[in-house]
Amino acid sequence: MDRPLAFSVAEACSAARIGRTSLYQAIRAGELRALKRGRRTIILANDLRRYLESLPALEAAAMTEMKRPGAGKTAPADSNS
């Protein structure tokens, strides 16, 4: 059995490729279940997977926009006028 049953906050962030703030926001919002063992916060692997699978999927059009160089950027106004 190579996969862990539970993660520390740092391990969960690393495994999910998300930041600590995002992880704690999900816990506070009730989107991600966390357990306490003394002072240590533990996230079960199944709960982390369930949270990640509940996140909205990107639409194909949004992915195309993200891949285009300079997408969403506007040119600066001409200050010579």
How do the domains of the chain map onto residue ranges?
6-56
Helix (H, G, I), strand (E, B) or coil at 63: helix
pTM score of the predicted model: 0.71
> Do the Cβ atoms of 77 and 45 come closer than 8 Å?
no
Each of the 81 residues of the chain gets a pLDDT tens digit; together they read 588 999 999 999 999 999 999 999 999 999 999 999 999 999 999 999 999 999 999 887 666 777 767 666 665 666 565
CA distances from 55 to 8, 36, 38, 48, 70 (A): 21, 24, 29, 11, 26
**At CA 4, angle to CA 17 and CA 11, rounded to 5?**
35
Name, in order, each residue with C-beta under 8 angstroms of 54's C-beta and a sequence gap of 6 or more: 31
